[in-house]
Amino acid sequence: MKVIQYTEIVDEVSRICQEANFDLGEDVVNAFKESVKTETSEAGKSILNQLIENADIATSNRVPMCQDTGVSVFIVRLGQDCHITGGKLEDAINEGVRKGYDEGYLRYSIVDDPITRSNTGDNTPAVIHIELVEGDALDVQMSAKGGGAENMSAMKMLTPSAGLEGVKDFIMKTVREAGPNACPPLVVGIGIGGNFEVAPYLAKKSLFRPVGERHPDEGIAALEMELHESVNQLGIGPQGLGGNTTALDIKVETAPCHIAALPVAVNLNCHASRHKHFVI
Amino acid sequence: MSEIRIKVPFEPGAAEKLKSGDTVLLSGTIYTARDAAHKRMAEALERGEDLPVDLTGQVIYYVGPTPAKPDEVIGSAGPTTSSRMDAYTPALLAHGLKGMIGKGYRSREVTDAIQENKAVYMVAIGGTGALLARKITASKLVAYEDLGTEAIRRLEVEDFPCIVINDSAGNDFYESSQQSFAND
C-alpha cells in the first residue's frame, strides 16, 4: 500500500492552483490561434489576439490571466490501495487552496453563506468530488471556475419524448441566452442522462477534457462536432460582439437514466478554461 | 475602426456624444464597484445618506481585482458581468453617474435609465485582466474596505480601452453586431 503524506498533497494543490491561473493550457491557446484563422469578424479576430497576448503576459509575469480566479473545483480519483497519512484528504486540499491563493496573489472569491455573504478570506472551501478507483495513485484534477460562465449554466429535466432534438434545443437556448455574459469564446460542457445531480456533474467533468479532444465514443464525438458547428452559427462571437467563434469546443458526457427521464445540463466555461492535474 | 480618446470623469454633455459601436480610450479617474458595494450604496440612498463618493459625471468600473503584488499598482483587473448590478444602476444614474464599464447585457430598466440620464454603457474585453491592468496607473481604496476585492477603489487610467454598447440614443451594439453574423 502506498503512503502519501498530507503535506505533499498541500504543496501539489498549492502549485496547481497557481499554475491554473498563470498558465493557460496549450490546448486553449492553440484553439485561440486556430480561431483567429477562421473568425470572419475583424473585431472578433482582434479580441482573440488580445486573449493570446493576455495569456502571454500572465505566464511571463506570473499574474492571473483573469481577476476572477474562480471557485477551486477538484475531481479526485483516489486509488483504493493508497493511504493518506497526517490528516484528512479534504483538509489537505483546502489547505493547498489557502496556500496557493495566498502565495499567488489570487483573488478570494468565496463567501461563507449564500444569504449573509461574508468573504471567507482564503478562497476555501473548495468544491471537492472524490471517486474511489483501482490502484495506489492519487490523481487530482483542478479547475479554477469563473463565476460569470457558471451563472449562465443551466440544467433541465426533459422527458423522453423531447428526444435528441429537445436536448439540442435546450443547449442552443442556453448558449444564446448566455451571450456575452459567459465570456465567449466558450467551452461548453454537456451532461445528458443520469438524474438531477448526475447530469450537471457530467457536464462539469466533460470540461476537464482537453480542448480539441473528441469523445472516444464515435456517436458522441459526432454529436460534439455537430453541436460545435451549430453553436458557431449563432453569431454571438468573441465577447458577444459578433462572429463565428462562439465556442472553442463542445464536450458531451452521457450516463444511463430512468425510463421517465432525460436530464440535460449545460455547464459553460469562459475562454479562460483553467484546468491542471497532478498524480502522486 | 477609429478610436476616440476621452477624459473621465466626463465633462458635461460628453457621455451622450458617444455612440454604440465606438471604440474609446478612457484617461483620468474612475471608481470600482461590484455586487456588494452596489448593495451598500443602494442601502445608503434608501436611508437618505450621502454616497461615499461623488458620482457626478463619473464612471464606475465593475471589477474585483486580484491583490497587487508588492511591485504592482493593482493585480489582474478585467470586467465582471454587469447584469448583476442592474437592480442598483438606475438609482446611481439618477445621482449623476454617467458611465459604466463591465461586460454583458443590461436590463431594459437600465438601458431606459441610460437614455433618460444621457449616460453610456461600455464594455472591456472580459478575461483580459492581465492586459487591462497595464492601463491602470494608480489604485486607492476609498470606501467599504471590509469588502476586500469588492471595496470601492479610485483608479487612475490611461487609454483604458472600451467599446460602447448602449448609448444615450437607445442603440445596442450587441444586438446589431450579433445580427450581422447570425446564421440561424
Q: A29 touching B, CB under 8 A? A: no
Residues of chain A with pLDDT under 70: none
Nearest to B139 by CA among B5, B58, B31, B24: B31
Instruction: State the pLDDT at residue B184.
Output: 56
Q: How many residues does chain A have?
A: 280
Q: Is residue A230 part of a domain?
A: yes
Test A235 with B148 for CB contact under 8 angstroms: no
3-state secondary structure of A120: coil
Same domain, yes or no: A135 and A155: no
**What are A111's three cell numbers?**
463567501
Do A161 and A246 sit in the same domain of this protein? yes
Residue B150 counted as domain residue: yes
Across chain B, which distance is largest between two alpha carbons, in Å?
A: 51
CA distances (Å), origin A249, targets A31, A170, B42? 8, 17, 40
Kindly determine whether residue A119 and residue B147, on different chains, have CB atoms separated by under 8 Å: yes
| Position B184 in a domain | no
Strand ranges in A12-137 using DSSP code E only, listed in sequence order:
71-79, 82-85, 127-133
Q: Which three cell numbers stand for residue B172?
A: 445596442
Residue A186 maps to a domain: yes
Measured between beta carbons, the chain A residues lying within 8 angstroms of B77 are 67
Q: Are B110 and B117 in contact (CB under 8 A)?
A: no
Nearest neighbour of A148 by CB, restricted to B81, B178, B179: B81
Q: Which amino acid is at B15?
A: A
Cβ-defined contact of B103 to A148 (cutoff 8 Å): yes
Domains of chain B: total = 1
Decide if B173 is inside a domain.
Answer: yes
pTM, entire model: 0.95
Scanning every residue of chain B, which has its alpha carbon at the shortest distance from the alpha carbon of A178?
B104
A97, A113, A145 - which closes a domain: A145
CA distances from B18 to B121, B122, B174 (A): 10, 10, 15
Note whether B144 contacts A: Cβ–Cβ < 8 A: no
The span from the CA of A180 to the CA of B31, in Å, is 23
Interface test with B, best of A17, A51, A67, A229 (most B CBs within 10 A): A67
Instruction: Average pLDDT across each block of 10 residues of chain B; the chain has 184 residues. List them in order.
Output: 89 96 97 97 95 96 97 96 97 97 98 98 97 98 95 98 97 92 76
Cell of B147: 469588502
Chain B residues in contact with A63 by the CB 8 A cut-off are: 66, 69, 72, 75-76, 130, 133
Q: Which helix (H) or strand (E) holds B59?
A: strand B59-61
pLDDT of res. A145: 97
Number of domains comprising chain A: 2
**Cβ contacts of B60 within 8 Å, gap of 6 or more:** B30, B31, B32, B33, B92, B97, B99, B100, B101
Supply the range of the domain harboring residue A157. Answer: 148-275
What is the CA A208 to chain-centroid distance, rounded? 6
Q: How close does chain B come to A233, measured CA to CA in Å?
A: 5
Residue B153 lies in a domain: yes
Question: For residue A247, is it within any domain?
Answer: yes
- CATH code of A13's domain: 3.30.360
- Residue-wise pLDDT tens digits, A138-168: 999 999 999 999 999 999 999 999 999 999 9
Q: Decide if B67 and A105 are in contact by the 8 Å CB cutoff.
A: yes
Asked if residue A82 is part of any domain, the answer here is yes
CB B149 within 8 A of CB B32: no
- Residue B133: how many CB atoms within 10 A of its CB? 26
How many Å apart are CA A145 and CA A71, to the nearest integer? 5
The grid coordinates listed for A277 are: 492535474
Do A177 and A234 share a structural domain? yes
What's the pLDDT at A1? 87
pLDDT for the residue numbered B2: 73
How far, in Å, CA of A252 to CA of A266, rounded? 9
In this structure, how many other beta carbons lie within 10 angstroms of the beta carbon of residue B72? Answer: 16
Q: Return d(Cα B128, Cα B123) in angstroms, integer.
A: 12
**Same domain, yes or no: A157 and A196:** yes
Q: What is the crossing angle of helices A42-61 and A26-38, to 10°?
A: 160
Residues 18 through 37 of chain B touching chain A, CB cutoff 8 Å = 36
- For residue B76, the enclosing domain spans 3-179
CATH number at residue B132: 3.20.130.10
* Co-location of A7 and A135 in the same domain: yes
If asked whether residues A157 and A254 sit together in one domain, one would say yes
Contact A103, B67 (CB under 8 A): no
Does B92 fall in a domain?
yes
Bond from prior residue into B9 cis (ω within 30 degrees of 0): yes
Residue A31 belongs to a domain? no
